[in-house]
Amino acid sequence: MTSPRIDALVQMLAQDPGDRTLHYMLGNEYFKAQKYSQAVEILRRYLQSGDDEGSAYRLLAKSYERLGETEEARQIYREGIAAAERHGHQPMVDEFIEALRDLE
């Protein structure tokens, strides 16, 4: 069973599959609903379609962590560090470095 919010976002994406914001929002909703495989799928699509400042990397890495895919999570945190550095988000860089340490 999905939430009404997820259902609405899926419908909206069907009407406008190129809307990056909808991809991010749906990935976030899947994460909150503990549907980590779906979150991974939609967040991967979101990141393939353009740049992100870091928050999508956080959701994607945490989804991989919850799925027990530690190496994938590490790789995503590394990519997130690069993205956060490009956008000057030092607190996010620090957060992702700490997350990497926690996965060791």
Q: Which domains does the chain have, with CATH numbers?
A: 4-102 (1.25.40.10)
**Tokens 């190496």 -> residue:** 71
| pLDDT tens for the 104 residues of the chain, in order | 679 999 999 999 999 999 999 999 999 999 999 999 999 999 999 999 998 889 999 999 999 999 999 999 999 999 999 999 999 999 999 999 999 999 98
Q: What is the pTM of this model?
A: 0.94
- CA 9 vs CA 15, 74, 76, 93: distances in Å: 10, 29, 24, 30
- Paired tokens of 80: 């997130």
**Alpha-carbon distance 69 to 54, whole Å?**
20
Which of 48, 53, 31, 50 lies closest to 40 in space, CA to CA? 31
The pair of three-digit structure tokens given for residue 75, joined into one six-digit string: 């790789």
Query: ∠ CA 59-64-66 to the nearest 5 degrees?
Result: 95
Task: Give the number of other Cβ atoms within 10 Å of residue 75's Cβ.
Answer: 14
